[in-house]
Chains A and B, each alone.
Chain A
C-alpha cells in the first residue's frame, strides 16, 4: 500500500497515482480522517465539489492477518454536517490493499450529473460511463458489473438512494458471494459518492499478491496465537459465530435498554420472536446459514444467510442494529418482514439504523401504526421509488421529525441513535453525545481496556466514571478502526492478555515496528483531535455534544431512568 489513487471529476474526469507523502503509515479511519481534515474545507457543502470522499483499507488489510478486512470511507457528511468515517466488511478492503492503494480519493463534481464506474486493476485504471447501471439498485447493478468484470473482483456501489443524494444513503461492498450486503452505512456517504459522479468502483487484484510482512516468522507466530485467542473466547469463538450480533436483543431487552416504539419504552414483549437465538434456529431450519464470514479471512464469522420460508436467499443475516431498528423500534415482531427491509435497504443503498429510526418517527407522526410491518415496508418502498415522501424519509430521522412536527427524534448531530437506550445505559449516552461522528455505537464499541492499561492511561481496578470510560473507549476504537481489524477482536483482547500481546506483535511484525500501547493511544487521540477540530471549524460547538432534551425529561421504564449526566461532565470527555 504505497500509493494513492486520486480521481478528479469534472468536465474531463482524470486521475493521478501519487506517493503517500503525509499519509504514509496510516490506514482506515486514521487515513480517511486525515484526508478530510487536511483537504476538505470544513464549511463546504457536503455535496459540493470541495468535499472529497476518501476510501481506505485498514493498515493490515490485504495481508494474511486474520479478520483484517474492514474498509473505511470518509468525507464531510450530508447527514451530520460534520466529519464522517463509516466502515464495512466485505471483500473490498483486501482487494484494494493487494492492489497497493492506501486510499482512493474522489474529488470534484459529477460532470453534468453523469455517473461513472471507476475500474481499478493492477496495471490499468479507467473511468467508464455507467449508463448501463445508472438507475439500478445495488443487486441488479452488481449483477451487471459481475457479468462485465468477472467474479474475482470486489465491487463498491450505490443504489438509487445514493443517486438521489439522500442523506441516509450508503455505499455497498460485495461479500464473498458477490452480493452487495456490507455497507458503509452511516452518514450519507452514498450521496457524496454520487455527487462525485461515481456509481461503482470495481477492484480487481488479478496478478497481485498478498501483502507480505517485514518479519515473516514473527508475523506467522503472532497470527497463530491471535487466531487461537479469538477462537478460545466465549464471545468471538462461540456466541458470535452461533448467533451473530442479534444475540444482544434478548439481553438488552432484559436490561431494560432496548428502545421500543421510537424510544418510548425500554422493553419489547415479543423479543423472543426476533432474537438472535430464534433467528439462527429459523435460518438453520429453513436451510440458510447461521455462521458465515463477511470477508475471506474472518475467523469469527458473526454473519449468516437469511432465507425465506421456501428456502430461497433473501438477505444476509440481519445484524442486531438492523433487527432492532426495523423490528422493536417500530413495534414489529416479524423476522421475515425485518429481513425483507434489510434486503430493501441493501438494495436501495440505505443505512438500516437510520431507516428504522426514521420509520419509527414516521409511525409516531401517524403515517403508520407501530407494529404494522406491511405499512413499514410500504414506507421503505417510497424511498426506493423516490417519491416526495420517500425523499423525506431517506433524508433521515431528524428531517422526518422536523417535517412532521415531532419532538421525539432520537438523534445527535442529525444522526439516529443505535439500539441502546442511553437512559438506563448512560455510559453509552456519553459516547452518543460526544463522538464527532454523530450518535454512534461503534465509536466506543471496543472494550480495549488492556490497550489503555498497558499504556498506563487507565487503571482498570479503579472505579472510573462514565466520562473517563467513554473517552478511553473512543480513543481505542479510533485506533482499531485504523488497523482494518473488525471491532469484534476487542473481546479476546480485553479478556486474554496473551491475545492482546499477539495483536500488538502482529502489527509490529508486519511493519517491522516496535509499537507500544502508548503509540496506539496516541494514534487514537490524534484521530479524534482531527475530527473534533474539523467539526469545530464546520461550526459545531459544545452544545452539539448533547442528547435531545427529552432524554433528560421522559423517564424510561423499567428503570424509570432519565439521562442525567451533566453538560459540564460531557464537556470533559475530550479534556486530555
Chain B
C-alpha cells in the first residue's frame, strides 16, 4: 500500500482514487455515523444534509448510529441521488421496501489487517470533502 499525502496528487487523480476506494483507519467501536462525523468534520445535522446515501458492503445502511464498523468493510458516502432508485437507496428511505432483495453483505468484507476500511466518496460528498480525506491521510492499493 502507498500513503497519499496532501500535495502529492492532482485533483483528477484524487477524484479517481476516492471513487475507487481508499483505505482509512477507524476507531475502536466506531459506528458508521460517528466515523462520518469525525472524518468529514460534520455535525449530526450536516451528515443528514450532506450524506444521504450510505452503502456498506453493497447493502444500504438504514441505522448508521448503531451500525459498527468492522475491518474490511467497504463504505460508500454520497449525497442524495436522483431518480426512483436513487431515492430508494437513501438511508431509511420511505420507499426502502423496493430494495428489499439487496443483501447486507457481511460476507463481502475484504481481508485487511488492523482497523482499516475501504472508503469511497461519490457525488457532492466527493467534491465537497476530498480535502478532508487528504488532511486525514489514507492508503491506496499498490498498482499491480
Contacts and interface: CB of A to CB of B under 8 A. Distances in A.
B81 A242 contact: no
Nearest to A419: B85
B67 interface: no
Contact of B85 (A238, A428, A558): A428
Contacts of A247: 81-82, 122-123
Contacts of B20: 272
Q: How large is the interface on A (under 10, 10 to 19, 20 to 34, 35 or more residues)?
A: 35 or more
Interface string A156-179: 000000000000000000000000
Interface stretch (A86-94, A137-145, A444-452, A512-520): A444-452
Contacts of A129: none
Q: How large is the interface on B (under 10, 10 to 19, 20 to 34, 35 or more residues)?
A: 35 or more
A441 B84 contact: yes
B101 interface: yes
Given A234-B124, A277-B126, A465 B85 contact: no
- Chain A CB within 10 Å, residue with most, of B97, B108, B126: B97
B7 interface: no
Contacts of A243: 123
Nearest to A560: B103
A561 interface: yes
B85 A248 contact: yes
B134 interface: no
B117 interface: no
Nearest to B57: A558
B82 A424 contact: no
Nearest to A473: B84
Interface in B80-104: 80-89, 94-95, 97-103
Interface in A59-78: none
A251 interface: yes
Given A277-B15, A469-B95, A491 B80 contact: yes
Interface string B125-139: 011000000000000
B38 to A, nearest CB: 22
A424 B105 CA distance: 12
Nearest to A477: B84
Interface in A406-436: 420, 423-428, 430-431
Contacts of B83: 245, 248, 320, 441, 445
A420 B79 CA distance: 19
A427 B122 contact: no
Given A234-B49, A234-B50, A256 B102 contact: yes
A466 B82 CA distance: 19
Interface in B54-80: 55, 58, 60, 76, 78-80
- Chain A CB within 10 Å, residue with most, of B84, B87, B123, B127: B84
A251 B78 contact: yes
A461 B19 CA distance: 34
Nearest to B98: A427
B95 A427 contact: yes
Contacts of A423: 101
A31 B43 CA distance: 49
B31 interface: no
Nearest to A556: B101
B122 A564 contact: no
A335 B86 CA distance: 22
B81 A248 contact: yes
A242 B79 CA distance: 12
B44 to A, nearest CB: 16
A150 interface: no
Contact of A234 (B52, B58, B94, B126): B52
A277 B98 contact: no
A239 B99 contact: no
B19 A278 contact: yes
B108 A466 contact: no
A409 to B, nearest CB: 22
B103 A238 contact: no
A466 B122 contact: no
Contacts of A465: 97
A420 B97 contact: no
19 contacts: A234-B124, A235-B81, A239-B81, A239-B124, A240-B82, A245-B82, A247-B122, A254-B55, A255-B58, A255-B102, A425-B85, A425-B99, A425-B101, A426-B98, A426-B99, A427-B95, A447-B95, A463-B97, A494-B87
